[in-house]
Structure 1
């Protein structure tokens, strides 16, 4: 929905959760409880032209480090700039 609201379509979503990515890309939700959520994701992705891709954690350490940052009370979205602490993540990733 964020990609739609900001005009960033078509879009690619990358995740290091291979099992989840495989379930979404199989386009046949499992019968388990998670199937309802996966079905909703599949429908949104097909409607809004979004592809979900598996990317190993080591291939995007910036995203991995951002995921470990303690959450803040309100949602924040950065489209053209970024918080200052992100630069250290990018520099560390470039050194790999």
Structure 2
């Protein structure tokens, strides 16, 4: 089971509780690919949407801010590298 949550603008958080890092990466990679393959018709134009994602693992003992900081940095790294990709966050202590 997963829960998406809007964070602001075009950013969302997807929580995948009780999921290994490897399985989460697989899920997010498949989601990115599925979205990129799909086209949307809007007012006579065909639109394509891509997802750039930062992926990290959170410890429930950390504050949400501390937990999400490396994930947010990974997201922006992916955007700088050309978008439409999954970037793994660097763990912090």
Flag the structure with higher strand content.
2
TM-score between the two structures when normalised by the length of structure 1: 0.27
Flag the structure with higher helix content.
1
TM-score between the two structures when normalised by the length of structure 2: 0.28
Larger radius of gyration: 1
